[in-house]
Amino acid sequence: MTVTLADVAARARVSPATVSRVLNGNYPVAAATRERVLRAVDDLDYVLNGPASSLAAATSDLVGILVNDIADPFFGIMAGAAQTEIGGQEGTGRAGGEKLAVVCNTGGSPERELTYLTLLQRQRAAAVILTGGALEDPGHIVAMTTKLAKLADAGTRVVLCGRPPLPGSDAIVASLAFDNRGGGRRLTEHLLTLGHRKIGYVAGPLERTTTRHRLEGHLAALAAAGLGDPASGEGRSTGSGEGRAGQEGLVVHGPYSRRSGYEATLELLRRAPDLTAVVAANDTVALGACAAVRDQGLRIPEDVSVAGFDDLPFSVDATPALTTVRLPLYEAGARAGRLAMGTETPPPGGIATITAELMARASTAPPRATR
Amino acid sequence: MTVTLADVAARARVSPATVSRVLNGNYPVAAATRERVLRAVDDLDYVLNGPASSLAAATSDLVGILVNDIADPFFGIMAGAAQTEIGGQEGTGRAGGEKLAVVCNTGGSPERELTYLTLLQRQRAAAVILTGGALEDPGHIVAMTTKLAKLADAGTRVVLCGRPPLPGSDAIVASLAFDNRGGGRRLTEHLLTLGHRKIGYVAGPLERTTTRHRLEGHLAALAAAGLGDPASGEGRSTGSGEGRAGQEGLVVHGPYSRRSGYEATLELLRRAPDLTAVVAANDTVALGACAAVRDQGLRIPEDVSVAGFDDLPFSVDATPALTTVRLPLYEAGARAGRLAMGTETPPPGGIATITAELMARASTAPPRATR
DNA sequence: CTGTTAGCGCCTTCAC
DNA sequence: GTGAAGGCGCTAACAG
């Protein structure tokens, strides 16, 4: 029924071993023989049996890319770039030595993250790329460290992209971390320079590295400017805001969604009607923040400035164009892909920090003197 | 080094076959024995060898999801939904009978589409879901039909999601097609009802079913209103517009990108400065169209109405909120996932058409009497 | 309900 | 440069 290596060998009048060598290309074979074999492959329309070859060779051509949310371009851009580097060699049609880059959507769930890793381990994946921020739950960190160590042990190359290095994990080939802290800091400095003093902050979900680092940058900028810590009196999403004076209660947490940005901004505006700026955890959240500001009858940036993070493609098209922090997502993803393939040498110490660039646009402006 | 089924069997004092049965769960095993085996599995930290089991069983637990552009939420939403249905059973941690849903990014390239299909065939994938519009090139259609037939032959379930059925292909489990034609028609009818008579159309890339169907709906609405065919004098992207009177030259093609929308709209405005509305191939393109309209010093919707297609999450946040056509992407993706898993019975004839609903919002309004 | 026996299709030493 | 043989780890009949 299904064509096997032996069939090809028979037709090409060589041994199965020779066919295998031709197909894998990592062994000298006479040009004429190779030709004959390839013709037989085409004639018979032979397709290699992946599981069989993985079993025999104890390694597969699968490369897993884990993302937190596949519907979010933040991840899509990185994953697409990585995939281009991994399976990119267009052309041949016959599918030669390509790797199969597969993206797995964890939905931000730690269980699913682990499950996918197990599934990938089960497949004897050649490499795994973990994208985006990590959960900071201690139990999960231990579980992840253990799991990644096992993967590495079994020969899987592990690369982190947009995620800080796992403490004490020598199992990892490389980690490319975004400078979220620096970007967050520069963004808030920009606002302070414009003259803002009362700045609301819509943070991402709790216990995520990305959330924490961006927020830390924000707080660092405030502290450097001699402004108080807005996190005191902090509450979750629509938590119990105490609306005290100063910078207090000006940080609200929520998921990385438009809706969260909308609701959190409403809450911030309620707590501090004299707010002159809102910084969002990312661009998507910023869009929701913009909508909330407008729905309150306020103008952007005249009454309230709004800023995001990531510089996703749609951000420049927002009205007004969104001030944000640019992350080189495509470049980072591509680099992670090459690292996973072993076609790029890891940075010294296996760790590289990727800079985040401030993109000052029309959604931020000096605050009005009074309101 | 690596622990195998036999090791587990030894520790649980049963035969390898029994361990296999416990793990696969599709065979009666005494509760006590099962317990013993599972404990041994945990003790030894055993992970099934996927390739070996796929080889022996002649089928794998891989399900492929092909998308044209992973950075586009249109695909991300469908893929995420499908993946939820496929690998969703949260929990266990030990990764039981889960399937590994993997998304493959073709980037819209026909070669890569075929290559991925071959790779999936090589892995003996359990199912394949093809999302989004198809290329209408005859050669590619033949190649695809052949390839899908082979996949089906080898036991892979093939499901189409957002793509019309392949003519004469009985290999396909089901195809869920969006009513792009109807949606396109209703959208343009909405504009006509508002009073628009001179409507520009930024179409998607040539030779794609999605592009063609949406455009056909647009043209049908115009024809029904007794308006001429705008496609005559049609040109590619920044093609040779001849700027003739009536509806002529009011269709421009380009990729599904923001940039294409921007440039095509500029071109349309140049060809027909008296345009009162622009319909875009999708929401992303519409965003670019909005930017172009504004850059020309025109207001939306007072001077020019703009409409999109898909109703992606960001569309409601555009300013003004974008009039568009809603496609139930999540629901469609989820259904495709269930169809691929065999947990939902295919629609009669294997074909279902999914309706597209007009979302009239603020970006469209009656044209001004004069301009 | 459980054990035994054969392969699944390919890669990889080892000879020639 | 090529062939022959063994085994990768698991599943799927069969027996019992």
Chain B, window 309-328: residues with a beta carbon less than 8 angstroms from a chain A beta carbon: 313-314, 317-319
Domain B58-178+328-356 belongs to what topology? Answer: Rossmann fold (3.40.50)
Domain A180-327 belongs to what topology? Answer: Rossmann fold (3.40.50)
Residue A48 approaches strand C within 7 Å at CB: yes
- pLDDT confidence of residue A36: 95
Nearest CA in chain B to A83: B105
Please name the member of B90, B102, B105 whose beta carbon is closest to the beta carbon of A80. B105
Residue A18 approaches strand D within 7 Å at CB: yes
CB contact under 8 A, B100 and A84: no
CB contact under 8 A, A80 and B70: yes
Buried-exposed string B150-162: b where 16+ CB fall within 10 A, e elsewhere: bbbeeebbbbbbb
Residue A119 approaches strand C within 7 Å at CB: no
C-alpha span between B140 and B137 (Å, rounded): 5
CB contact under 8 A, B104 and A105: no
Residue B33 approaches strand D within 7 Å at CB: no
CB contact under 8 A, B76 and A72: yes
Ranges of residues in chain B with a pLDDT under 50 are 90-95, 233-245, 370-371
Return the number of other C-beta atoms located less than 10 Å from residue B89's C-beta: 15
Q: Which two tokens stand for residue A70?
A: 């596949």
Question: Can you give the distance from the CA of residue B52 to the C1' of nucleotide C3 in angstroms?
Answer: 21
Task: Note whether A291 contacts B: Cβ–Cβ < 8 A.
Answer: yes
C-alpha span between B364 and A20 (Å, rounded): 62
Per DSSP, the three-state class of A104 is: strand
- pLDDT confidence of residue B99: 87
pLDDT greater at residue A97 or residue B1: B1
**In chain B, where the domains are located:** 1-56, 58-178+328-356, 180-327
Chain B closest-CA separation from residue A280 CA (Å)? 15
Of the candidates B136, B86, B138, B140, which has an alpha carbon nearest to the alpha carbon of residue B113?
B140
Best of B67, B69, B122, B259 to substitute, by most chain A Cβ atoms within 10 angstroms, is: B122
Banded pLDDT at A97 (limits 50, 70, 90): low
Of the candidates B280, B283, B282, which has an alpha carbon nearest to the alpha carbon of residue B268?
B280
- pLDDT confidence of residue A140: 96
Chain B CB contacts of A49 below 8 Å: 55, 122, 124
Best of A69, A83, A103, A144 to substitute, by most chain B Cβ atoms within 10 angstroms, is: A103
pTM here is: 0.92
Judge: domain A1-56, CATH 1.10.260.40: yes
CB contact under 8 A, B79 and A105: yes
Residue B36 approaches strand C within 7 Å at CB: no
Per DSSP, the three-state class of B4 is: coil
Phi and psi for B359 in degrees, rounded to 5?
-115, 95
CB contact under 8 A, A317 and B94: no
Please name the member of B47, B48, B93 whose beta carbon is closest to the beta carbon of A111. B93
Residue B71 approaches strand C within 7 Å at CB: no
CA B233 to mean position of chain CA atoms = 31
The string of pLDDT tens digits covering residues A300-317 is 999 999 999 999 998 988
Of the candidates A316, A329, A317, A322, which has an alpha carbon nearest to the alpha carbon of residue A355?
A329
Return the number of other C-beta atoms located less than 10 Å from residue B184's C-beta: 26
User: How many Cα atoms are found within 13 Å in the side-chain-facing hemisphere of A357?
Assistant: 8
- pLDDT confidence of residue A71: 95
The pairs formed by B170-175 with CB atoms below 8 angstroms and a separation of 24 or more are B171/B145, B172/B148, B172/B350, B173/B127, B173/B339, B173/B340, B173/B346, B173/B350, B174/B336, B174/B339, B174/B346, B174/B347, B174/B350, B174/B351, B174/B352, B175/B350, B175/B351, B175/B352
- pLDDT confidence of residue B230: 67
Phi and psi for B58 in degrees, rounded to 5?
60, 35
- pLDDT confidence of residue A240: 36
Give the residue-averaged pLDDT of A76-102. 75
- pLDDT confidence of residue A123: 94
Residue B22 approaches strand D within 7 Å at CB: no
Residue B16 approaches strand D within 7 Å at CB: yes
Chain A closest-CA separation from residue B140 CA (Å)? 12
- Give A247-303 as a 3 state SS string: CCCCEEECCCCHHHHHHHHHHHHHHCCCCCEEEECCHHHHHHHHHHHHHCCCCCCCC
Task: Among all protein residues, pick the one whose CA is nearest to the C1' atom of D2.
Answer: A18
Contact B265, B201 (CB under 8 A): no
* DSSP 8-state code for residue A313: G
Chain B CB contacts of A299 below 8 Å: none
Of the candidates A291, A289, A360, A366, which has an alpha carbon nearest to the alpha carbon of residue A321?
A360
Residue A30 approaches strand D within 7 Å at CB: yes
The string of pLDDT tens digits covering residues B202-240 is 999 999 999 999 999 999 999 999 987 665 544 444 433
CB contact under 8 A, A102 and B98: no
Please name the residue ranges forming H helices in chain A.
Answer: 5-12, 16-24, 31-44, 50-57, 73-87, 110-122, 138-153, 180-194, 209-224, 258-271, 283-295, 329-341
C-alpha span between B106 and B134 (Å, rounded): 12
B285 torsion bin: left (phi>0), alpha (psi -120 to 50), beta (else): alpha
- pLDDT confidence of residue B318: 84
CB contact under 8 A, A120 and B104: no
Chain B CB contacts of A258 below 8 Å: 313-314, 317
* DSSP 8-state code for residue A226: T
Of the candidates A103, A124, A102, which has an alpha carbon nearest to the alpha carbon of residue A50?
A124
C-alpha span between A304 and A297 (Å, rounded): 11
Task: Note whether B73 contacts A: Cβ–Cβ < 8 A.
Answer: yes
Task: Note whether B348 contacts A: Cβ–Cβ < 8 A.
Answer: no
The string of pLDDT tens digits covering residues A152-191 is 989 999 999 999 998 877 889 999 999 999 999 999 999 9
CB contact under 8 A, A70 and B80: yes
Chain A, window 237-266: residues with a beta carbon less than 8 angstroms from a chain B beta carbon: 258
Q: Which two tokens stand for residue B266?
A: 């500029």
CB contact under 8 A, A105 and B103: yes
The string of pLDDT tens digits covering residues A6-28 is 999 999 999 999 999 999 988 88
With CA of A34 and C1' of each nucleotide, the nearest comes out as D1
Asked whether this chain's domains B1-56 and B180-327 adopt the same fold, the reply is: no
